[in-house]
Amino acid sequence: MAFGVYIHIPYCIQRCTYCDFATYEQSKILPPDQYVELLFKEIRQKHRYYTPQSLDTIYFGGGTPSLIPANLIVAIIKELGRYGFTTRPDTEITIEINPATVSKEKLKTYLDNGINRFSVGAQTFDDRLLKMVHREHSAKQTLETLDLLRAHGVNFSFDILFALPSQTVEGLRRDVEIAVEQGAKHISPYCLTVPDGHPLSKGRPIDDEQVEMFDIIADELTRKGFQQYEVSNFALPGFESRHNMLYWVDEPYWSLGLSSHSYSKESAWGTRYWNINSINEYQKQILAFDGQEFDSPVRHLPSNQVEVLQMHQALTDFCHTSMRLMRGLNVEQLQAKFPQNVSEKVLQIMKNLEQKSWIRFDNGHWSLTREGLVLSNRVFQELTFLQEDL
C-alpha cells in the first residue's frame, strides 16, 4: 500500500482572478514561520491517525510554496521524520513553484534535501493573457526559471491554462510547443472554470471550441511522446505524478495545513476529514488542541469536518477516480472491494455505457473512449450512487 503526505502552503504574491483555492496574499496572513509552527502542532496532534512508515510521496502545494524560506520547507520534511514518517532515496517530493520565486541558493537547498520534482505555475507564455488573469510573472521570467531548473537537470512539470478570453488556437499550440521544448516531463491542461458573471467569463471560447482546444493539446503532446494517463494529465513514460496517483487508486493520504483534505482507511468504507479554510479559524482549532495527540479524526475533529463513508459513497468515489485514469476501472479490484450484487450492478451500467460507445472493455478494465472523454461528466453521473441504489 502506497502512502503520501500533502502540505498546503497558502502564500501568494497576488491572488489570480480565477483562483478558488484557500490562499492569501502573503502580506495578509501569518508570517511563514508562525504558519509552519502550526503545521508542526498539527503533525503532533494527528500523527497517530496513521502507522509510522516511509513515505512514497510528499507534495508541497498552494499557493506558492516557493515564496516561503526554503529552510521552512526542509523543516517540515524533518518534522514528519521525527514522528516516523521518513523519506527514502526514491520518495517523490514535489514542490509547486512560480516563476521568479526560486534562486540558485533556494534550489540548492531543495535538491540537497531530497526535493526532486518541481511543478511550475507557468499557465501560458502569452504576456497579455498572464496580465489578464493577474499572474505576477512574465513569460521571460518563466523561461529564466526553466533555464535554472534545466541547468540542474531536475524533473519539472507544467500546468497549461486554456479557454481564456480571447485565447486563440494558434496561441495555445505555441504554449504547448514551448512547454515541450523547454523540457517539461509532465503537462496538465486545465480548462478555465469561472461562474457566469465573473470578469473572465466574457469572450471565452464556446464549449465546442474548448473541446477542440483540449484535442489540440492532446494531439500535440501525443506526437511528442507524451501519454495521457488521466483525464487532465499527460506525461512522458515513467514521469507520471506518483502523488496524484494516490488520489486515483484508492490509497490513503494525509494532508496538512489550511483547508487540506485527507483520506484514511480506518473505517470499513474509508474516512474523509478536512481542515477549516479560514486561517484564523484553522489557527484557533490547532491551538485549542495544543500538546494533545489523537488516534482518529472521529475522536478529534468536529463532526462537520469528518465523514465516515457509507458503501454507496465509497462506490461512487471508487468508480469516479478509477474512470479518470486512462487505464480505467479494474474489474477484479471492484469485485474484491464490494459485495457481488453491488459489483454486478456496476458492471451492468458499464455495459449500458459501452452500447453508447462512451466506454470500452479491454484486459480486465473499463475505460473511457475518446467520445467518453468529452462526455465524461455524463459517464460520472451514471456512476454516482445513492444509498437506496444499493
Q: How high is the pLDDT of residue 213?
A: 84
The pLDDT of residue 20 is above 70? no
Share of the chain above pLDDT 70, in %: 91
Q: Round to whole Å and give the CA distance between 187 and 190.
A: 10
Of 20-34, 146-160, 314-328, minimum mean pLDDT range: 20-34
Q: Round to whole Å and give the CA distance between 156 and 72.
A: 21
Of 38-47, 174-183, 200-209, 288-297, minimum mean pLDDT range: 200-209
Provide the pLDDT confidence category of residue 380 given band limits of 50, 70 and 90: very high
Of 67-76, 119-128, 144-153, 313-322, minimum mean pLDDT range: 119-128
Provide the pLDDT confidence category of residue 270 given band limits of 50, 70 and 90: very high
Average pLDDT of span 274-292: 95
pLDDT tens for residues 77-131?
A: 999 999 999 999 999 999 999 888 899 999 999 999 999 999 998 788 777 877 7
Q: How high is the pLDDT of residue 75?
A: 98
Provide the pLDDT confidence category of residue 12 given band limits of 50, 70 and 90: confident
**Phi and psi torsions of 137, nearest 5°:** -90, 165
The pLDDT of residue 16 is above 50? no
Provide the pLDDT confidence category of residue 134 given band limits of 50, 70 and 90: low
Comparing CA positions, the residue from 62, 195, 74 lying closest to residue 119 is 62
The domain 4-246: what is its CATH number?
3.20.20.70
DSSP codes joined into one string, 288-319: HTTT---S-STTTS-GGGEEE--HHHHHHHHH
Q: How high is the pLDDT of residue 106?
A: 95
Could you give the residue ranges of the DSSP H alpha helices within 47-160?
Answer: 70-82, 104-112, 127-132, 139-151
Q: Round to whole Å and give the CA distance between 145 and 151.
A: 10
Answer positive or negative: Cα dihedral of 98, 71, 43, 78.
positive
The pLDDT of residue 15 is above 50? no
CATH 3.20.20.70 domain span(s) along the chain: 4-246
Average pLDDT of span 63-85: 95
More confident residue, 337 or 62: 337
Q: How high is the pLDDT of residue 169?
A: 83
Determine if the peptide bond prior to 63 is cis (ω within 30°).
yes
Q: How high is the pLDDT of residue 240?
A: 97
For the chain, give the mean pLDDT: 90
